[in-house]
Amino acid sequence: PVIADEGAIPYLAETLYSDAPLDQDNAAATLLNVSIACPEALMSTRGLLDALSHTLSHHTRHHPSAVQSAAATVYSLVIDENYRPVVGSKRDIVYALIDIVRTPDSPAKSMKDALKALFGLALYPLNRSTMVELGAAAALFGLVVNDGRVGVVEDATAVIAQMAGCEESAEAFRRVSGIRVLVDLLDPGTGWSARIRENAVLLNLAGFGQGVVVEEIRELGSEFVFHGLGEVVKNGSIKGRKRAQTLIDILGRVSLGGLELSPV
């Protein structure tokens, strides 16, 4: 791209520190476009991640469009698995994304792009413990409980499902009653989408938390949880069906028998 070839990226990054909202907005939008076409040009620019962090960290004061573009730029960068460790090592970026999710009056588009960025970061296993440490569990589960928008809840549970794949997640989820929330999401009677129920399958969490988490799932579960798992096995994606069946096996189920799942 001409912008990268002409050496404009450092100037665009510097403009993110500007006090002029329109300049911020235009610079952030341009950087987003460059991140899609030429991500390596951004990642090789000194101070670029710090500039994105500045915009994200001041999300309540900066122009909403600039914040959204900055979050979308982070997501665009972490699509490349090689950049996930680098971006995830910037704890201030991770914290700022979590704070956008945690803030009730964050604009919907900023929230959506922050969740997508967190999902991309969570695809790299070592980033998950950082997210847990920085308070992602409380922010994400708070969003699931308090935000009724299906798309937002789908994205939040997708991040939760990835974050569950680390040793620290079990205790963090339990502290914020997250296991109960995920169990409730499995109830077909709640009307949540199939994608949300697949995300709530809890397999990663059960694997890392082992006995303690499995016992809590069983205690909270009652019949609707197993009915929900059965629905995922019957109607979910291939990946979702495998996860649900494995969790049923972990919970001590011996067979589906259609949807008639009897406890041990």
pLDDT digit string (tens) for 88-106? Answer: 999 999 999 999 999 989 9
Residue 39: what pLDDT? 94
Question: Does position 254 have pLDDT exceeding 50, yes or no?
Answer: no
Q: What tens digit of pLDDT does each residue of 156-178 get?
A: 988 998 898 888 888 888 898 88
- State which of 9-23, 147-161, 239-253 shows the largest mean pLDDT: 9-23
CATH number at residue 79: 1.25.10.10
Question: Does position 35 have pLDDT exceeding 60, yes or no?
Answer: yes
Residue 257: what pLDDT? 37
In-domain check, residue 124: yes
- On the CB side of 161, CA atoms within 13 Å amount to 22
Residue 264: what pLDDT? 30
Residue 211: what pLDDT? 63
Q: What mean pLDDT comes out for the span 171-195?
A: 76
In-domain check, residue 112: yes
Q: What mean pLDDT comes out for the span 220-233?
A: 71
**What domain range includes position 64?**
2-134
Domain total of the chain: 1
Q: What is the mean pLDDT of the chain?
A: 84
Q: What tens digit of pLDDT does each residue of 50-68 get?
A: 999 999 999 999 889 999 9
Q: What mean pLDDT comes out for the span 95-120?
A: 95
In-domain check, residue 46: yes
* Beta carbons of 47 and 9 less than 8 angstroms apart: no
Question: Does position 216 have pLDDT exceeding 60, yes or no?
Answer: yes
Question: Does position 130 have pLDDT exceeding 90, yes or no?
Answer: yes
In-domain check, residue 45: yes
In-domain check, residue 190: no
In-domain check, residue 9: yes
In-domain check, residue 13: yes
In-domain check, residue 109: yes
